Amino acid sequence: MQLALVIDLNVCVGCHACVTSCKEWNTGGAAGPLTDQHAYAADPTGTFFNRVQTYEAGTFPDTETIHFPKSCLHCEDPPCVPVCPTGASYKRKEDGIVLVDYDKCIGCKYCAWACPYGARELDEGRQVMTKCTLCVDRIHDEALAPDDRKPACVKACPTNARLFGDIHDPQSDVAQAIRERDGYPLMPEWDTKPANHYLPRRVNKAP
Amino acid sequence: MLNWFARQFGSAPLHDPTATPAPDVQRDVKTTTCYMCACRCGIRVHLEAGKVRYIDGNPDHPLNKGVICAKGSAGIMKQYSPARLTQPLLRKPGTERGAGQFEPISWERAYAILVERLARIRATDPRKFAFFTGRDQMQALTGLFARQFGTPNYAAHGGFCSVNMAAGMIYTIGGSFWEFGGPDLDRAKLFVMIGTAEDHHSNPLKIAISAFKRRGGRFVSINPVRTGYSAIADEWIPIKPGTDGALFMAMLHVLIGEERVDRAFLARYTNAPQLVVLDGGERDGLFAFDPAAGPPGDGRNPHNKLVYDKASGRILHAYPEGIADGCEPALEGRYALDDGTPVAPSFQLLRERVAPCTPEWASAITGIPAARIVALAREMGDVALNQAFELPIEWTDAWGKVHPTTTARPVAFHAMRGLAAHSNGFQTVRALSVLMSVLGTIDAPGGFRHKAPYPRHIVPNYRAFNSPEMIQPNTPLNAAPLGFPASPDELAINADGSPIRIDHAFSWEHPLSAHGLMHNVITNAVNGDPYRLDTLMIFMANMAWNSTMNTEGVRAMLNARDPDDGEYRIPFIVVADAFQSEMVAFADLVLPDTTYLERHDVMSMLDRPISEFDGPVDSVRVPVVPPLGECRPFQEVIVELATRLKFPAFVNADGSRKFRDYPDFVVNFQPAPGIGFLMGWRGKDGESPLRGEPNPDQWQRYAENNCVFQYHLPRDMQFMRNWNRAYLDFAKEKGWRQRNDPVQLALYQDSLQTFRLAAEGKGGGRQPPAHLRERVVKYFDPLPFWYPPLEEAVTDTEAFPLNAITQRPMAMYHSWDSQNAWLRQIHSHNYLFVHPKTARAAGIADGGWCWIESPWGRVRCMLRDSEAVEPGTVWTWNAIGKADGAWHLAPGADESRKGFLLNHLIADTLPLGERRISNSDPVTGQAGWYDVRVRITPAEGDETSPHVQWARPDVDARAAAPHDSAEK
């Protein structure tokens, strides 16, 4: 099993719902707290497992504005794991989620240097490396209603742009979406085999 | 040491990532309604040991169906905001207003001060108390308070928000976008979105746009800027700000010229065939009528009108003969009544109006290629008429004709402030409404659909007070403070034509100002125009910052003193808010409100409910945590003040208290028999929804049902409701409408013509003062037209060649969220976005500091290149810049050092001859935010200017902020 997010750039409006719902769940969850620095002062900064970047492509008037949510891609061959000197970074066999064991992490940042995607965030408050857990403390929690056993960002997303499931199961929604919508991984040339995929824009042209 | 061993000898995690932190803590989930913006989604608040742990969307709520936005998820941080006000504050005697010198006082003292002051005003001159409210959703209560007080000086914030959208559409089709109606994207094939603020009705629209795209619908966005929703449009059509009206007129030119209109719809459901008098006389431009059939038709009684029947060659009553089988009402031609009076169907006049509005004409104004205008108009016509389909829903129209199916018109529109916030916005929105009407998309499947209690009459049957005699000491107003005037008789003016209201609403300056003009209040009160106030009470509106034009001027006015006696020109200012906004510093008395998680609230059918297309929906908030400090819900304060002031609606005959508190008021107050603030579970047993006796357990029933009540209309009442017999009867019975008449679409708006005739000296009734006659004649055109925004006429557009507008970030609601530790990390400061060619031509580098300057002011800010903006336009995010220290941010926070506020550049008044007049739409008084013209020049320095210092109140009772390692 390889759990993953498949993010549909055709409907993402860049609203940041995934950003703060992630922050909110995880700051009080098993991976938290996610600390903030200068929260009410100049240059506020803090730990977010998920961020939305906005790009422009093309020139006026044929400009595209692309909202691009990014978090840990849960690579099938994650370069952040073997470089960890303490074994704090690890990939779960049962569901493919890449995690950091905070009790082992010494904050050396080797993993952040190894990650080609810039997906890791050193928590300045706690001095441990953090990252998306795919809400591992939600998705396996049988105390939650079955519909709630999803990552916080997936539940929040108003455009349902974030699909979640097992990309190794060809019948899953995510595997089908990747197949049928030309889903792609980021920088495949690095051979990291990112589990997360993106679905490209599709333009419905004028008749 | 143990950990070290584990690292060496074990690969198993030490830290169980699936373990629940603090497993023994008591957990609880409560449902309520979000208020991080005006969208009002259902939320679940997860509590641990009584504290908020997590807020997520309620999957059982009809509005958001479980999703939540960035603001909603950050609601938890509002509870921990350092900017919370926690106790009533009184300006210290002898200190300056705005200096931040307050003393905490008890609520009892605050009430005593207010009751003494308000009772004196009410007993002498009730006009001297003005009550204006901001982003609230409780106008049914605040409006009742003002009316019971007897002051005409009440409004909410609609005048500077989107009254052009509301009025322009309501005067044309009887409903409007947002909570009153919207695009039926479940069935549309083409969606055209024009100038939409992305913080409005946000989650339902996001859900709908996503599903629409996935179904294969085509999404076209017309906007000077490509952000947010426009980013995922299939096509972005950039347009120059303030020119949308020209685009719509040209599209009408194409559609009407090429016969791509729904003629059957126009003939039966609109006033297109009705005959307009064209004799140049006293009734010139009004609809012809049959004197034998009663008084002439007008905005309120529209049905005594005439049509020309092509089948018989005779002039007939429009109803019922004109819509009878076999009748062919003419849409074109010119005719004469029996007495020789020349007349023409109103559609003929529309046809003549749009004839010169060619695509080439519009192209020169809008910047959109003419071929693109033609192609889009044709696409709209093709989708509406040739890709239509039938739903198997039988319905009966108002005249008894049974329609075996319901016809879809699958082209849907949505628009908001991009059209509204211009001084030509009313006529622009009229043009859009007429465009939608000729395509037959009104309350049709796939088109625009109403939400209960809409559609209203055209003109809505809400008359405001209209004479100074109606304002009497110690007496409630015998009419609503706000209304929809149908003729000059309904204006709030004195015998000499001067305004009765402090904001000049419903005067000849802005006759159809249905939402008031909050943005005029401070300027007018300071100038004593038309008189001075005693007490100004502001709830939840930042009039000293982002909600005002001419920000620095208005801040100075708030502190202005009378040279004669040294007293403040506005003697007493009361501010009710939950947070330390810029406005709070200017208060004499501060009333600390609660957050949305700490109080009862209603989203009422009497106000702005959250209805869906298929039926009415209302909802409530219930407290999930106790109020912080001495905070009290403002609703409780209003009920308490009204009771202590012994307003008739709030006390019994013996003067004793009628309502225990606000929840008790909501259950038991009935403006009409069986109708209250909430429609769910009415009746003693809760079995009479919509209309019934008060139910003492009503709050409990809402709390048990996700805090929401939804009523699904039967299928045959879900469409064509302007003319749907079953719906019109039902809506009247339930009190949503006063009459069950059909609501014919007003392509031609004869109510506007009554104002124009008065300005021409015709009709023998009220007439405008001389200096406003020409203005009323020009803008009260019964047919839509485009004119340049008023500011262009008083601006050297060569010296100030650019348009400047703002956009709404989806993760921030107005000025409200800079106190929020998470949201301000997304937008702690803003840039001026400029097309690279425009920036280079001005000599400014990407990332450089520049001056943005209008004829009225200038601001230093940082520039960012963007290819996603029309080169003649510059833009920034709204309300990110803050006064230094406001909202309890640390001195030198990004918001004040790098962020900036465009409002400094926008004038509150414009010259009108030798006078000045509000910088607003001449019809509705909508603030012309987006009309300002600017230029940009390189700047020295690296900080925002003007740098406005905010006086931090010297009382600090904020809650501690958790998770804030830097401030520990």
Size of interface A-B (CB pairs under 8 A): 255
Contact of A43 with chain B, judged by CB distance below 8 Å, is answered with yes
User: What SS3 class is residue B307?
Assistant: strand
Contact B870 A60 (CB under 8 A): yes
Give the pairing of strands B849-854 and B933-938: antiparallel
Question: Which among B53, B227, B965 is the nearest to A35, CB-wise?
Answer: B965
Helices of type H across B150-262: 163-173, 202-214, 228-231, 244-257
B403, β-bridge pairs: B395
What pLDDT shows up at residue B5?
47
ipTM of the prediction = 0.98
Q: Any CB–CB contact under 8 A between B64 and chain A?
A: yes
pLDDT, tens digit (0-9, with 9 covering 90-100), for B589-606: 999 999 999 999 999 999
DSSP three-state, residue B664? helix
Report the residue from B6, B74, B825 with minimal CB separation from A45: B825
**Residue B4: pLDDT over 70:** no
Distance of alpha carbon B433 from alpha carbon B415, whole angstroms: 11
Looking at chain B, the whole-number percentage of residues with pLDDT higher than 90 is 89
- Determine whether B454 is exposed, middle or buried from the number of CB atoms within 10 Å of its CB (0-12, 13-18, 19+): buried
Give residue B2's pLDDT band: very low, low, confident or very high (50, 70, 90). very low
> Using CA atoms, how far apart are residues B714 and B622, in angstroms rounded to an integer?
30
Nearest to A11 among B210, B888, B963 (CB): B210
Q: Do A13 and B228 touch (CB under 8 A)?
A: yes
Complete DSSP assignment for B459-478 = S-S-PBP-SGGG--TT---S
Please check whether residue B809 is in contact with residue A24, taking contact to mean a CB–CB distance below 8 angstroms.
Answer: no
Which are the contacts of B743, defined by CB distance < 8 A and separation ≥ 6? Answer: B173, B174, B455, B456, B457, B458, B722, B723
| Residue B453: φ, ψ to 5° | -85, 10
Give me the residues of B, 527-566, that contact A with CB < 8 A: none
Please tell me the distance in Å from B892's CA to the nearest CA on chain A: 6
Q: What is the mean pLDDT of residues B232-261?
A: 98
Neighbours of A77 (CB within 10 A): 12
Greater model confidence, B38 or B365: B365
Whether residues A12 and B232 touch (CB distance < 8 A) is answered with yes
Produce one character per residue of B43-56: b if its CB has 16 or more CB atoms within 10 Å, e if not. Answer: bbbbbeeeebbbbb
Low-confidence ranges of chain A (pLDDT < 70): none
Average pLDDT over residues B429-433: 98
* Mean predicted confidence (pLDDT) in B319-326: 92
Is the predicted pLDDT of residue B668 greater than 70, yes or no?
A: yes
Is B68 within 8 Å of A17 when comparing Cβ atoms? yes
The residues facing B918 across adjacent strands are B909
Measured CA to CA, the distance from residue B48 to residue B383 in angstroms comes to 53
Please say whether the beta carbons of A49 and A132 come within 8 A: yes
Give B790's DSSP letter: G
**Least confidently predicted of B7-16, B137-146, B638-647:** B7-16
Report CB contact under 8 Å: B57, A133: no
The answer to whether B964 contacts A25, with C-beta atoms less than 8 Å apart, is no
Interval B765-797: pLDDT, tens = 999 999 999 999 999 999 999 999 999 999 999
Nearest of B719, B961, B949 to residue B98 by alpha carbon: B949
On whether any CB of chain A is under 8 Å from the CB of B968, the answer is no
Q: What is the pLDDT of residue B420?
A: 96
pLDDT digits 0-9 by tens, B672-703: 999 999 999 999 999 999 999 999 999 999 99
Distances (CA, A) of B759 to B527, B754, B756: 27, 9, 5
Asked if B6 is an interface residue toward chain A (Cβ–Cβ < 8 A), one would say yes
Residue B567 sits at φ, ψ, to 5 deg, of -85, 155
B964 with A44: CB under 8 angstroms? Answer: no
Interface of B with A in 151-210 (CB under 8 A): 198, 202-203, 206-207, 209-210
pTM over 0.90: yes
SS3 A66: strand
Q: Is B68 on the interface with A (CB under 8 A)?
A: yes
**pLDDT at B958 exceeding the cut of 60:** no
From B261, B266, B407, B259, select the one nearest B323 (Cα to Cα). Answer: B266
Chain A residues closer than 8 Å to B28 by CB: none
The answer to whether residues B885 and B952 touch, using CB atoms and an 8 Å cutoff, is: yes
Mean pLDDT, chain B, as a whole number? 94
Report the gap between the CA of B50 and the closest CA in chain A (Å). Answer: 14
β-strand pairing of B129-133 with B154-155: parallel
Q: What is the pLDDT of residue B11?
A: 63
Contacts of A130 in chain B (CB under 8 A): none
Element containing residue B853 per DSSP (H, E): strand B849-854
Q: Say how far apart CA A89 and CA A106 lie, in whole Å.
A: 11
Bridge partners of B43, per DSSP, are B32, B57
| B228–A60 C-beta distance less than 8 A | no
Residue B13 pLDDT: 80
Q: Which of B226, B822, B966 sits opposite A38 (nearest CB)?
A: B966
Contacts of B54 in chain A (CB under 8 A): 24-25, 28
What is the distance in angstroms between the Cα of A15 and the nearest Cα belonging to chain B? 5
Kindly report, residue by residue over B564-588, the tens digit of the pLDDT.
999 999 999 999 999 999 999 999 9
Q: Give the DSSP letter of residue B383.
A: I
- Give the closest-approach CA distance of B553 to chain A in angstroms: 27
A43 contact residues in B (CB cutoff 8 A): 828, 894
In chain B, the percentage of residues whose pLDDT exceeds 70 is 97
